Amino acid sequence: MQIQAIKGSFFTSPVYGEVNFHDNALIEVDRHGVISDILFKDQSGYQEALAHYRHQEQLVELSPDQYLLPGFIDTHIHAPQWPQLGVALDRPLNEWLEQHTFPLEAKYANLEFAHTVYTDLVEQLLAHGTTTALYFATIHMEASLELAKICAEKGQRGLVGKVVMDHPTGNPDYYRDESTEKAIADTEDFIKKVRQMAETVPQGLYPVITPRFAPSCTDQALAALGQLATKYQCHVQSHCSEGQWEHDVTAERFGKTDTQALADFGLFGPKSVMAHCNFISDEDAKIFRKHQTAVAHCPISNVYFANSVLPVRHLKDLGVEIALGTDISAGYTPSLYENMRQAVMSSRQLEEGVDTSLPASKRGVVHSRIGMNEAFYLATTGGGEALDLAIGQIAPGYACDLQVVSTSHNKDFAVFSDEEHILHRLLYSTNSDNIEAVYCQGRLVHTKNN
């Protein structure tokens, strides 16, 4: 069942760093689940419209201690890694991949296992307010299709990638594509199958071309995937300059940065999202901007495996699109709230510096401090821009993706009259227990007690 109108106070961030608040607005939704109009409290026609929807029994009304936020957009998450949250995060990335992650991902040859894990993950993401997710699945066709099917059924907007790992020495023998030719052919087949499945999915379902990262793919595969991206005008995702190790490996192999290499293979475009990018240069940033390719910033994961902090503000100043990702399971939580907090904290430490052996004046070197307004933008509008979809804002023309957040657990909430303080309190204190309902494309996809 799709809602037609919802009345409540909401926050939205159409511009980086700015947040708009509207008190008890009436949001009208068309039959496709898109916001058709928003009537503000003092506007003419507001009372009449309210009376109309109430009379028709078609109005969802929030209580005074509830607020609406846009549904969040997770632009980097490895669905198969859900069962190992928090495991071996003290190991280096390549060791974590080889000893823990690849053996786990190999298990998705078993469709039943995939079904159980993916069902739980999609439900959990919805419970945390995430209405859209850009997923890495595994190399397995059936299990990747199963993830797409579960997103479709649960009402989440899924962008799903069947992963390509064809390099004969860059991957373990037990977990890699049978051959380069098959990996390419399977990707094309996957695109067609997901597009067919998507025809009946109101919230949208999208195939994503997914070379895992340069070290796990041959040049032949990377070039062919770039051609498929152009042929099908498809989303693309990969990892890029995550840590020093990956950065060095690709520099040695290609004689250029992985930004330059991936762009030269045709994998950069307006629907491409590259995870991490902590080590990109200003020259690389220009390539991102030129292609309107986005960075998926994964601040929690970066603490563990990147050993670095993304200079968010510096890259924004250079015109790079940035969104937010949980990077499960290099990130230990499905919550973009927690990632927003970490994004703010990491940016402060990068800017102000933490090396107390240096004089204070010499500590901070990078212009990178962001606040909660900016982090909120990254989790919402930034995600919509990264994916080139009309999502992430509460505004006419955008998909009606909403989360209803309760403040009833915070008895002191009433002391705030400043709207920005209310938002920040909300973003710092909300967990899934406080998310009472979630709507995607105007449909109820989660309630707290279901």
Binding to ligand XAN in span 322-341, by CB under 6 A: 327, 330
DSSP state of 172: -
Stretch that binds ligand XAN, among 93-101, 121-129, 309-317, 394-402 (CB under 6 A): 93-101
DSSP state of 164: E
Indicate whether 162 belongs to the interface with ligand XAN (CB under 6 A).
no
d(CA 54, CA 47): 10
Q: Nearer Cβ to ligand XAN, position 50 or 225?
A: 225
Indicate whether 190 belongs to the interface with ligand XAN (CB under 6 A).
no
Residue-by-residue DSSP string for 121-152: HHHHHHHTTEEEEEEE--S-HHHHHHHHHHHH
Report, in Å, the least distance between residue 369 CB and ligand XAN: 25
Interface pick for ligand XAN out of 72, 135, 213, 439 (rule CB under 6 A): 213
The H or E element containing residue 78 is strand 72-78
Within its chain, how far is the Cα of 157 from the centroid?
11
Indicate whether 78 belongs to the interface with ligand XAN (CB under 6 A).
yes
Interaction pattern, residues 240-279, with ligand XAN; x per rule: CB under 6 A: --x-------------------------------------
**Closest to 209 measured CA to CA, from 190, 196, 195, 193:** 190
d(CA 149, CA 17): 36
Long-range contacts of 358-367 (CB under 8 A, 24+ apart): 366/311, 366/314, 367/311, 367/313, 367/314, 367/317
Reported as half-sphere exposure (CB side, CA atoms, 13 A), residue 35 has a value of 24
Other beta carbons within 10 angstroms of residue 49's beta carbon come to 17
Site size toward ligand XAN (CB under 6 A) is 12
Q: Nearer Cβ to ligand XAN, position 138 or 293?
A: 138
Q: Nearer Cβ to ligand XAN, position 97 or 402?
A: 97
Interaction pattern, residues 276-305, with ligand XAN; x per rule: CB under 6 A: -------------------------x---x
Report, in Å, the least distance between residue 81 CB and ligand XAN: 7
Q: Nearer Cβ to ligand XAN, position 169 or 417?
A: 169
Q: Nearer Cβ to ligand XAN, position 241 or 403?
A: 241
Report, in Å, the least distance between residue 331 CB and ligand XAN: 8
Report, in Å, the least distance between residue 140 CB and ligand XAN: 15
Q: Nearer Cβ to ligand XAN, position 8 or 243?
A: 243
CB 343 within 8 A of CB 380: no
Report, in Å, the least distance between residue 173 CB and ligand XAN: 17
| 419-429 and 336-352 helices, crossing angle to 10° | 110
Q: Nearer Cβ to ligand XAN, position 128 or 212?
A: 212
What is the dihedral sign for C-alpha 149, 76, 433, 402?
Answer: negative
Interface pick for ligand XAN out of 75, 101, 180, 368 (rule CB under 6 A): 101
d(CA 91, CA 427): 31
Report, in Å, the least distance between residue 97 CB and ligand XAN: 6
Q: Which residues bind ligand XAN (CB under 6 A)?
A: 78, 93, 97, 101, 212-213, 239, 242, 301, 305, 327, 330
